[in-house]
A and B are shown apart, each in its own frame.
Chain A
Amino acid sequence: MNTDNLQIPPSLVRSKLPRWPRISEPEMVRHYTWLSNRNFGIDTGFYPLGSCTMKHNPRVNEVIAQLPGIADIHPLQPEHHIQGTLAIFHEMQDMLGICAGMDAVTLQPVAGAQGEFTAIRCIQEYFRSRGELQRTKVIVPDSAHGTNPASAAMAGFEIIEIPSREDGRIDLDALRAVVGDDTAAMMITNPNTLGVFEPEIAEAAAIVHDAGGQMYYDGANFNAILGRTSPGIMGFDAVHYNLHKTFSQPHGGGGPGSGPIGVKSHLAEFLPGPVVKRRPILPDDKLTTVNHEWWYHWKEPENSIGKVQQWHGNSGAVIRCWAYYRRYGNDLKTMSEHAVLNANYLRHKIIEEANEQGVSHLFADGAPVDVVKHEFTLSMAPMKESMGLGAMDVAKGLLDKGYMAPTVYFPLVVPECMMIEPTETESKEVLDEFARKFVEVLQEDPDVLHNAPITTKVRRVDEVYAARNLTLSYQFDE
């Protein structure tokens, strides 16, 4: 095809091409392979990053996601071109609804935070439709993920933060003190960010509902409870799912994720549109290989809030998670049980090992409970007090032992917090070894630990320097 004589308005002719590198394929392949060798993933080693559910990502999911029937499909193709995708979406909507005890599901939100925002928008429109315009406040516990208040604020709500009790659990008196006819919703995760199940969750839901508000479930910690309880049973009206946490969409260094939401029937008409429905096949339908019973189609919810992503969400992630779901089926409960088993076992082993080595005085339980759910927290405050070394130093010490560090300094309610989530895909041997190494780090010479890590590609990175000497791209010599 002739690529000369192209008509461009003179004012729009590019004056200077971007200063991009000029490299051949072998150089490019080697560069990114070199970079990958400087990066730590679940495939590299144990990744106990609390609140992120860094479980193994089955590779069959990647194979399926590259089939032309998913990668090479356009969102504006007619329904008879996409019966396969719609069938999988329908199955996923159903499955997610069942797992969470919700009546309707949309797969459109593309990340957890967007799911939160979407659900809060639905709740906002619900109250507007009822003329309850005075409901302008959203309650969040101080232990909540930062996305909760950020998402509600983006929708225009005022945030009321309530303190947690010392054991990290919700303070019902504090909740009672703030609910009222201006309450739109409470956003909470259960188990909470300390990995502790909130035993008074039904009471909290009753308090919020009695005040006329809605209960929102942050699904970040959903991996802990599948098949054992559900947000629906606990009294929630809306929930988001992190498919990249619970359902093994690879985290990809920070995305893509997928954050579907589920709602009770009274909120279904406000969901972003469209959602997938099905009807029996009619004689005029073109039969496909999906099945011979159902015809799948898009349907706009009656009073939809509209769209939060321009198309139909992160379809590629949904398909991977469909494959993951199919692997477990009704045994998803076993998955959650093993996540909880591993977390409790690791917590037990760390404490046992620390006792044996005489260093248990260096940390405290983030929450004094008999059992945790999928994750647990340790406070390194005693170590900080006695040795001047804290959670960050231990984290860096763990990097030297060949591990990804746990989440540090979150939740804020636990001083010098380390939040550890092993997930169900780690063997007992990995957990035993990690417990030993964790305690070894605590026994490290303080000077050595202060200088950790020493075995990594670079050593402690100066974040203050980065912020003061902002260099956000390559600086060319003009």
Chain B
Amino acid sequence: MVDQLPNLGREKEMLDAMGMSSMDDLFADIPVAVRMNGELPLRGPQSEEEIIADARRILGANVALGDRVSFLGAGLNRNYVPASVFQLVTRGEFLTSYTPYQPEVSQGMLQAMWEFQTLISELVGLEVANLSVYDGSTAAAEAITCAVRVHNRKAEQKDTVYISELVPPSRQSVIFNYTQGGDITLKTLKHNPDGTLNLDSLAEASGSCGVYVEQPNPLGILDGGLTRVKEIIGENTAFIVGVSPVSLGMIEAPGNYGADIVVGEGQALGSPITYGGPLYGIFACTKAYLRQMPGRIVGKSIDVDGKEAFCLTLSTREQHIRRHRATSNICTNETLIALMGAMHMSLLGPEGLEKLARRNMAACQLAKQKLSEISTISIPHMNNSHYNEFVVQLPGLASDCISYLDTQGLIGGFDLSNWYSEHSNWLLVSFSDQTRASEIELLAAHLAVWSASLTQGVSA
């Protein structure tokens, strides 16, 4: 432990300087009644090499996606992140800094986050972006409370926001926890049998504080109808779109079809999946929402010599100034992961992003075509466009299919009955730039074998 505690063995010297005789003197202010006696009942310390050995053994028991052929996505996608991103992000000046409260010695991270804001702004087509919230789910939740703050005064349906019924329960749960304290009523928007948003029922949302939908939606569908949402709900209702950011290399920026707030899971740009965290949430909006938005924002300024400089701005929205009237309680965010995102975006450039988006979509489209050729399974939303993922309807339980594929070395996808209990035969399969054509062939072959075994009543 000496390597972590420079003053180990020098306690007496330091205590003497203070006129103290023992370490206990330093804790004399803790009343006897609340002292902990004896040692912490924990294991003993380990050396660095022992820790690495244990980590390798324990984490070696995990099955990494890269160990298998994987079709599991459900909103988290395994896009290739270039090596330079991982190398640069471990630079101690970034890694071991904290919130840039002293801008004079924090210009690096401030500028990087200002550039991140620019990259996100351009990506989603809105004027303003913050420097990240926790993840896609909290971004959606914060967008909804933001919309209520902005629109409630004029809203005919007070404290009411409409969200797509397809939003996964885990994301809805986060949204509920963030909104219940403000007595916000969440109503759901219906979908058509083909998986697109039912625009007729959307009219109900007019006069509410906001509408939250996703593009692509949780079934992987690219819904052209969303470009009509803003004209249906009107000026006084926030149009909030959750995006998959890489898709925007091909798909129109929601800001260009009326979105007021764009949120999303940033992970596919810059970060591995890491068991679902850390990720980073994208939050961007028009200027009308700026003063009600959550989280930190970097502004460009000047120093006393008139030199270009960056600093945090609009802090009066935040908890350390506004306390219980703050727009959000968020303090620590996901800056370093957002930095990885900025690095990845900078490397891609506009054409690189488009290429990456195309590569993701091409894998999905090829898979759709291959799987549609299997007579024993069907693709319920076949006529729609898909990005990254789509639903396969199986002749048996999706959970059984996934178990079978697991025995064959394939991580087969996601059992959608976990989200939509009525669809126990729906398998959500996911593809990315990491998917090879041969892997799609493999999935098709195994699905055909498994499905045939069911339809013929033979155990696979």
Contact = CB atoms under 8 A, between A and B. Distances in A.
B442 interface: no
Interface string A1-35: 11100111111111101111111010011011111
A383 B275 CA distance: 51
A257 B277 CA distance: 10
Interface in B17-33: 17-18, 20, 23, 25-31, 33
Contacts of A314: 277-278
Most buried by B among A29, A99, A329: A329
A414 to B, nearest CB: 15
Interface stretch (B35-43, B197-205, B372-380, B444-452): B35-43
B329 A345 contact: no
Given A67-B56, A228-B30, A335-B5, A41 B93 contact: yes
B182 A156 contact: yes
B303 A462 contact: yes
Given A460-B304, A463-B311, A467-B313, A67 B55 contact: yes
B304 A316 contact: no
A25 B353 contact: no
Contacts of A470: 290, 299, 313-314
Contact of B102 (A34, A201, A404): A404
B102 A395 contact: yes
Interface stretch (B69-77, B150-158, B185-193, B231-239): B69-77
A152 B182 CA distance: 11
Contacts, number: 651
A201 B34 contact: yes
Contacts of A196: 29
B62 A82 contact: yes
Indicate the size class of the contact surface on chain A.
Answer: 35 or more
B8 A60 contact: no
B353 A311 contact: no
A341 B13 CA distance: 11
Contacts of A229: 30, 34-36
Contacts of A71: 272-274
B390 to A, nearest CB: 12
Nearest to B336: A252
Interface SS of chain A: loop
A279 interface: no
B276 A310 contact: yes
A428 B277 contact: no
Contact of B7 (A32, A68, A341): A341
Nearest to B115: A474
A20 B45 contact: no
A328 interface: yes
A290 B58 contact: yes
Interface in B229-271: 248-253, 256-257
A254 B329 contact: no
A66 B227 contact: no
Given A71-B274, A72-B64, A87-B58, A341 B11 contact: yes
A310 B346 contact: no
B42 A332 contact: yes
Contacts of B337: 252, 255-256
A60 B3 CA distance: 12
Given A12-B215, A36-B88, A326-B51, 7 more contacts: A81-B63, A113-B319, A147-B319, A156-B183, A256-B335, A309-B135, A462-B304
